[in-house]
Amino acid sequence: MAQIQPSLPAMMTVVDIIEPGGVEKLQLIKKPLPRISAGYLLVKVEAAGVNRPDIFQRKGSYPPPTDASPIMGLEISGTVVAKADDVSEWQLGDTLCALVAGGGYAEYCLVHKDIALPLGSLSFIEGAAIPENFFTVWANVFQIGKLKKNESVLIHGGTSGIGSVAIMLAKAFGATVVTTVGSEEKADVAKKLGADCVINYKTDDFVEATLNYTLSRGVDMVVDIIGGDYVAKNYQVAAKFGRIIQIGMMKGNPIELNMMPLMVKRLVHTGSTMRSRSIEEKALIAKELENQVWGMLQKGKIKPIINKKYNLSQVKDAHEYMESGDLIGKIILLNS
């Protein structure tokens, strides 16, 4: 059984992938509203974040978990319009944002009660720009990497979704931040986010620049979304007992890798993915974010960077824009 807001439609508009491929394979179709299982909310989606994994899913290289919705979209904000009878933490009409394993590119989406966070003073657009990057950064940098006050961290791609959030949270918790960017425009953005040392990797060697900044000591942590030949360089730039946190592999696996520096320096090289994690794991991240980060977001001390907004019907344009280059900030899909 479920508690349901009156006058819910039987059908909803969703973005469907005809077959793996380019943006021309995306289409809007009608599907029945999803059935509400125990522990779940049905949310009327006001906004959804667009992420690189959505592009990979469209192309057929990032299939959803077997128990997840096949619809793209990993983060949403909206209003609770129905809920399972066993849910007492949320009421009809509550506004929230949430991490989902799929289903965000739609008018309605199922959300587990423990992986949702209250919007409070945040707008729907801001809310939709938060879950994927904040959950990922918190899990990797703070839960796994255990970044501490007064430690130093090198964050690659400082104006990317992951990079910008990593800079803001690292600074908020008292770390010294070094970051790499690919242009002077991005350098300005990274400085405004709070980075202490910004390196343009197109004009400077980030290993040399980081070692110079740290007086040859190196950094306590490296947060890497690049992979490839950056892995060996990360080993060079890490301090003794340093941690390398692998969040992405944009350049793929390293072709050759000398692991002797890892052993000599006693480094830890680790990483993780988010989508395949269990409800319990994601719920713990949500609770820690609510306890330690949500107050800063509510007060505007930190906030997501919004790049561009599209209506759901413009999803092809949104994907084309995502693929057009290395963008600053989030792309948001709106349902109204």
Q: What is the pLDDT of residue 150?
A: 98
One of 3.20.20.70, 3.40.350.10, 1.20.200.10, 3.40.50.720 is the CATH number of 134-271, namely 3.40.50.720
Which among 76, 77, 84 has a CA at the least distance from the CA of 4?
84
- For residue 107 the two structure tokens come to 């008018």
- For residue 157 the two structure tokens come to 């791609």
pLDDT tens digits for 258-285?
Answer: 999 999 999 999 998 898 899 999 999 9
For residues 82, 88, 89 and 93, what is the CA-based torsion angle, rounded to 10 degrees? 30
CB-neighbour burial class of residue 88 (10 A; exposed 0-12, middle 13-18, buried 19+): exposed
d(C-alpha 310, C-alpha 295), whole Å: 28
Torsion sign (Cα): 80, 300, 200, 222: negative
CA angle 52, 80, 128 (to 5 degrees): 25
pLDDT tens digits for 119-167?
Answer: 999 999 999 999 999 999 999 999 999 999 999 999 999 999 999 999 9
Which among 246, 247, 245, 241 has a CA at the least distance from the CA of 267?
241
Class of domain 2-130+277-334: alpha beta
Decide: 72 and 52 in contact? Cβ < 8 Å: no
Q: What is the pLDDT of residue 273?
A: 87
pLDDT tens digits for 3-60?
Answer: 888 889 999 999 999 999 999 999 999 999 999 999 999 999 999 999 999 999 999 9
Q: Enumerate residues 6+ apart whose C-beta is below 8 A from 143.
A: 285, 288
Which among 201, 189, 181, 46 has a CA at the least distance from the CA of 122?
46
Q: What is the pLDDT of residue 300?
A: 95
For residues 301, 305, 311 and 313, what is the CA-based torsion angle, rounded to 10 degrees? -140
Which among 297, 325, 321 has a CA at the least distance from the CA of 308?
321
pLDDT tens digits for 189-243?
Answer: 999 999 999 999 999 999 999 999 999 999 999 999 999 999 999 999 999 999 9
Cβ neighbours, 10 Å, residue 32? 10
d(C-alpha 238, C-alpha 210), whole Å: 9
Q: What is the pLDDT of residue 7?
A: 86
- Which of helix, strand or coil describes residue 249? coil
Residue in the structure block whose two tokens are 């491929």: 21
Q: What is the pLDDT of residue 1?
A: 66
d(C-alpha 247, C-alpha 173), whole Å: 20
- Per-residue pLDDT band at 250 (split at 50, 70, 90): confident
pLDDT tens digits for 59-110?
Answer: 999 999 988 999 999 999 999 999 999 999 999 999 999 999 999 999 999 9
- For residue 139 the two structure tokens come to 């899990």
Give domain limits for the chain: 2-130+277-334, 134-271
**Strand pairing report for 197-200 and 11-17:** unpaired
Q: What is the pLDDT of residue 174?
A: 98
Decide: 175 and 183 in contact? Cβ < 8 Å: no
Paired strand residues for 42: 82, 110
